[in-house]
Every structure is written in C-alpha cells, then in structure tokens.
Structure 1
C-alpha cells in the first residue's frame, strides 16, 4: 500500500496506473509521457530519485510527480469512494 492518496494516470500509450508511492511514481516516470524534456517532468524525476536516497522529503517528491502529471494532462478524475457517496447521501438528508 502506498503512502499517498492514489493518483490515477493514463500514459500516452494508453496504460493506466494508480500511483500512491515513490516507487510507483518512479515506474510511472519510466512510461510514455508527452514530453520528457519538460521542466516539471525533469523536476519530478530528480526529486523522486532524491526521495529514494533519503535526501528529499517524499511528500515533496510526490507533489512534484503529481504536478508533472497534471502539466502533461495525464491525470484521470478519481471516482468517489463508497464512503464518500454514503457521506454525500447522509449530508443531503440532513439539509432537507
């Protein structure tokens, strides 16, 4: 299980992934991206590597990965969990 909330991405080749850890982010970065020369992508690669060797806070590295995925329009909208749907239903009942 990952350390972060899962981020769903779809790579350029159509492969979908749920990324929730530094190791999964590293694997995703090795896949097909729109522009591997883009600054956010390079920053994410550098920070993920630094997090793996302990010289960067993993939360910062994961945020950089998320920013790179958003920059290249690879993120997919996350589906609501069953618990959130139940909470929405209950709060809707309370408002009426």
Structure 2
C-alpha cells in the first residue's frame, strides 16, 4: 500500500515510474526531468528531502512533487475509473 494516490511519470528518456510515497518521489527526482533548474522542481526536491529526513510533513512534499511533474509535462494523466464515476453519482444530490 502506498502512502498517497500513486502517480505515473514519463521521463525524458521515455522511462515510466509509478510514484506513491515520498521515498519514491526522492528516487524519481534523480531521473531525467526536462528542467532540473525550474523553481517548481527545486522546491519539490527541497521539500521531499526534508520529508525524507523527517523535518517536513510528507503530504505537502508529495503535492509539490506532483505539481512540479505536472508543470514539466511528465505527469501521465489516467482516465477516471468507473468506481469514481459511481461514487460521484452516489454523492450528488
């Protein structure tokens, strides 16, 4: 079981990785990203490092990581499952 809802990344070398924890995010940050000098990437790397060390909450670190991946276009979008559609329908008034 992962700590967060897993996300799939497709790096510049066309390799993919499923990331579902801060430890996974730390490994993913070492792969090929389009721009490792981008502010979003640098902030995500800082927060993930702090979360691994235990001085930052994992959730903000993982969210920053996900946002950096989205900004750089390496976050693979997955279609919503039928279960999500069913839950949305059940929750609507």
Which range, TM-score by smaller chain? Answer: 0.7 to 0.9
Partner of 2:61: 61
Runs of 4+ aligned residues of structure 1 deviating over 2 Å after TM superposition are 79-85
Once the two structures are TM-superposed, the CA of residue 17 in structure 1 deviates from its matched residue by: 1.0
Equivalent pairs, count:
88
Alignment deviations for residues 1-55 of structure 1 (CA, whole Å, 9 cap, x no partner) = 2100011110110011111100110111000000001111011111001001111
**What TM-score do the two structures reach when normalised by structure 1?**
0.83
Q: Are residues 1:18 and 2:18 paired?
A: yes
In structure 2, runs of 5+ residues without a counterpart are none
Q: Which residue of 2 aligns with 1:31?
A: 31
What RMSD, in angstroms, separates the aligned Cα atoms of the two structures? Answer: 1.5
Q: How does 1:1-96 map to 2 (within 5 A)?
A: 1-81=1-81, 83-84=83-84, 87=86
Larger Rg: 1
5+ long unaligned stretches in structure 1: 92-96
Name the SS for the 1:47 alignment partner.
helix
